[in-house]
Structure 1
Amino acid sequence: METLTIRLAIPADAPAIAAVHCANWRDVYADVLDPAYLAGPIEEDRRELWQDRLASPSRWQSVLVADLPGGGLAGFICLYRDEDARWGSLVDNLHVVPGLRGRSIGRQLLRAGAQAMLMGKASAPGLHLWVFEGNIAARQFYARLGGREVERCLETELPTPPETFILRVFWPDLAMLGA
């Protein structure tokens, strides 16, 4: 297991978080997201998103980053406590640098995120996220951690081909993640 420092993100982390987000989407979603979007607009879009989120976070938001021992960002997670009355807290983003996948970084971030929700006094015990149906590696990863696919919906927010589906993955109890 990789020795990481997991900490709360600060506004100065926004460019690195945006870069990891872009790299991950370009790698994993090359066949899902619009190629024109991935070729350029994604960079400004993600940079603005993370600058805004870190400069003016909601009181329900937690963004954690995983720093490598020698420096550099290995990945990040963004969660919203008690986002849904039925499903609980939301993992809005979980991304690991493409070349670092398979080294337990995502697992450590997800567990740290679940712990942050518990420490933040989440009123609902569950945790959920959305994943593209075609992202088999992520779906397998979440299943290994006890997540269950409980809902299938048409993706409507991102530039995707028609009939692109997303799945809700659910952990009914934060403690399932070792939090």
Structure 2
Amino acid sequence: MTVPETTNTSPVSIPVHIPTLPPIRSTTSSRSTSSSTSTTLSTVSHLSDRPIAEVTFRHGRVEDAPYLTDLQFSNYRYHYKELMGDSFLDRLVPADMTKFHASRLTPPVDQREMGYVVAEQKDPKTGELGVIGMSQVIVPYWDRAHSHRFYEGWSQDDFDCEIDTLYVKLGVQGGGLGRKLVFGAMQEGYDRLNMRGAVIIWTMIGNIQGREFYKRIGCEEVGERILEVNGVELECVAYGFRDIGRELGLESK
């Protein structure tokens, strides 16, 4: 059955409320768990100097895949050029990433333990909606990296929610949209995936701007790991929220 999507073109406050779809996992589902810093060249020239208004948040659709790839690759090339190097970026194939996103967005998505949140904004000249941000929530998948080390007071077993991807269009970053996308993804995890534990978000150690962002929205630094992508080992650091329901204001602190 197709669930109609609703939109709201007025500014959205935190927490973000996006259209409700049926839960993917029941409340009896168990959690899915398994047993040298560089600098960034990022500047603030791409940042918005004012809040981002009139944004619509909705569930991702398969036709979004090429736009999500554009968001992802433009961020890679702007923020990560020095961290990853030209040789790494040159090996990235947009068509492959678009196919990857499309496979995750192709119905029936309610059989997968993941969900996309997409932010759209109307173009003032054309009146058409364009994708300006995305986030993705998944059940943590530990096997794609190695050398996990969690800081005192945290363990792998704490986490049943991971914000896997978060990208905002260059030129509108800094206007509060990233925070709304994080909380929108967390809401998806809570509502549809029965996530009730801690939230983890990974970024590269050298991504200073990203790390500052996660601290500003209230995350704690919780651990480290090595992620291998296209034969390149990337040092990553994790940020987290202790309890998804409390952060969303759905459970008492």
When the two structures are superposed, what TM-score results if normalisation uses the length of structure 2? 0.64
Which structure would you say has the larger RCO, counting Cα contacts within 8 Å and 6 or more residues apart? 2
Count of equivalent residues: 177
| Pairing 1:59–2:82 present | no
Indicate conservation of the 8 Å contact 2:75/2:167, yes or no.
yes
Give % identity. 23
The answer to whether the Cα contact below 8 Å between 1:82 and 1:90 also exists between their aligned partners in 2 is yes
108, 116, 130: which one pairs with 1:72?
130
CA–CA separation in structure 2 for the residues paired with 1:155 and 1:30: 17
Q: Which runs of 5+ in 2 are unaligned?
A: 1-50, 124-128, 142-155
**Structure-1 separation of matches of 2:102 and 2:56:** 22
Q: Following TM superposition, by how much is the alpha carbon of 1:159 offset from its aligned partner in structure 2, in angstroms?
A: 4.7
Structure 1 or 2: more helix by fraction: 1
Which of these two proteins has the greater Rg computed from alpha carbons?
Answer: 2
Report if aligned partners of 2:133, 2:169 keep a CA contact under 8 Å in 1: yes
Assess if the C-alpha contact under 8 Å between 2:57 and 2:119 holds in 1. yes
Structure 1: give runs of 5+ residues left out of the alignment: none
Q: Matched residue of 1:166: which SS?
A: strand
Q: What pairs with 1:24-173 in structure 2 (closer than 5 Å)?
A: 24-39=75-90, 41-55=92-106, 57=109, 58-70=111-123, 71-81=129-139, 85-160=157-232, 164-173=234-243
User: Could you tell me how far apart the structure 2 residues matched to 1:85 and 1:152 are?
Assistant: 15
CA contact (8 A) 1:33 1:159 kept: no
Contact 2:75 2:170 in 1 (8 A): yes
Aligned-partner Cα distance in 2 for 1:64–1:123: 16
